[in-house]
Amino acid sequence: MRYVIIGGGPAATNAMETIRQFDSDGSIALVSDEPAHSRMALPYWLNGKISREQTLTADDDSLARLRVESHVGRRAVQLDLDQRRVVLDGGDALEFDKLFLATGSSPVTPPIEGIDHPDVQTMWTLSDVEKCLERFSDLACPRIAFIGAGFVGMILVGALAHRQCKLTVIEQADQILPRMLDAASASQAENWLATRDVDVVTGAQVVRISVCEGNDKHLELADGSKITADLVVLATGVRPNLRLVEGTAIRTDQGIVVDDHLRTSVDSVYAGGDVAQGPSLYGDTPAVHAIQPTAVDHGRVAGANMAGADVAYPGSLLMNVVDVCGLQCVSYGNWQSGDDEVVIDNSRDFIYRRLVFRGDHLVGALFVGRPHEVGMLNDIGMVKGILQTRPALGSWKEYLKQNPFDVRRPYIALKVPERLVSTTLLGRPSQPRQYRHGNAEPQSTNTPAHRWLLDAVRPS
Ligand X SMILES: Cc1cc2nc3c(=O)[nH]c(=O)nc-3n(C[C@H](O)[C@H](O)[C@H](O)COP(=O)(O)OP(=O)(O)OC[C@H]3O[C@@H](n4cnc5c(N)ncnc54)[C@H](O)[C@@H]3O)c2cc1C
Residues 6+ apart with CB under 8 A from 87: 76, 77, 78, 79, 80, 93
One residue of 22, 34, 139, 205 binding ligand X per CB under 6 A: 34
Minimum CB–partner distance for residue 90 and ligand X (Å):
12
One residue of 5, 11, 242, 351 binding ligand X per CB under 6 A: 11
Question: Rule CB under 6 A: is residue 8 a binding residue for ligand X?
Answer: yes
Strands, DSSP E only, in 175-247? 199-202, 206-211, 217-221, 226-229, 231-234, 238-240
Instruction: State the Cα–Cα distance between residues 167 and 437, nearest whole angstrom.
Output: 32
Question: Rule CB under 6 A: is residue 274 a binding residue for ligand X?
Answer: yes
Minimum CB–partner distance for residue 119 and ligand X (Å):
18
Minimum CB–partner distance for residue 86 and ligand X (Å):
9
Question: Rule CB under 6 A: is residue 292 a binding residue for ligand X?
Answer: yes
Question: Rule CB under 6 A: is residue 273 a binding residue for ligand X?
Answer: yes
What separation in angstroms does the CA of 367 have from each of 37, 67, 149, 317?
30, 44, 18, 16
Nearest to 342 by CA among 359, 366, 374: 366
**CB nearer to ligand X: pick between 34 and 216:** 34
One residue of 19, 42, 147, 149 binding ligand X per CB under 6 A: 42
Nearest to 6 by CA among 82, 65, 94, 91: 94
Question: Rule CB under 6 A: is residue 85 a binding residue for ligand X?
Answer: no
Q: How far apart are the first and last CA of the chain?
A: 39
Question: Rule CB under 6 A: is residue 103 a binding residue for ligand X?
Answer: yes
- Residue 22's Cβ-count burial label (10 Å; 0-12, 13-18, 19+) is middle
**CB nearer to ligand X: pick between 311 and 322:** 322
The window from 270-278, 339-347, 364-372, 420-428 that contacts ligand X (CB under 6 A) reads 270-278
Is 143 in contact with 229 (CB distance < 8 Å)?
yes
Question: Rule CB under 6 A: is residue 31 a binding residue for ligand X?
Answer: yes
Minimum CB–partner distance for residue 250 and ligand X (Å):
14
**CB nearer to ligand X: pick between 8 and 391:** 8
One residue of 291, 317, 356, 380 binding ligand X per CB under 6 A: 291
The distance from CA 345 to its chain's CA centroid, rounded to whole angstroms, is: 27
What separation in angstroms does the CA of 457 have from each of 150, 296, 419?
38, 26, 9
DSSP string, 280-335: BTT-SS-B---SHHHHHHHHHHHHHHHTT-------BPPEEEEEETTEEEEEEE-T
**CB nearer to ligand X: pick between 106 and 265:** 106
The window from 21-29, 35-43, 181-189, 221-229 that contacts ligand X (CB under 6 A) reads 35-43
Question: Rule CB under 6 A: is residue 155 a binding residue for ligand X?
Answer: yes
Minimum CB–partner distance for residue 54 and ligand X (Å):
15
Residues 6+ apart with CB under 8 A from 372: none
Question: Rule CB under 6 A: is residue 255 a binding residue for ligand X?
Answer: no
Nearest to 75 by CA among 16, 6, 125: 6
Is 122 in contact with 146 (CB distance < 8 Å)?
no
Minimum CB–partner distance for residue 33 and ligand X (Å):
4
Binding characters for ligand X, 362-401, by CB under 6 A (x = yes): ----------------------------------------
Binding site for ligand X (CB under 6 A): 6-12, 31-34, 39-40, 42-43, 75-76, 102-105, 123-124, 152, 155-156, 241, 244, 273-275, 290-293, 295
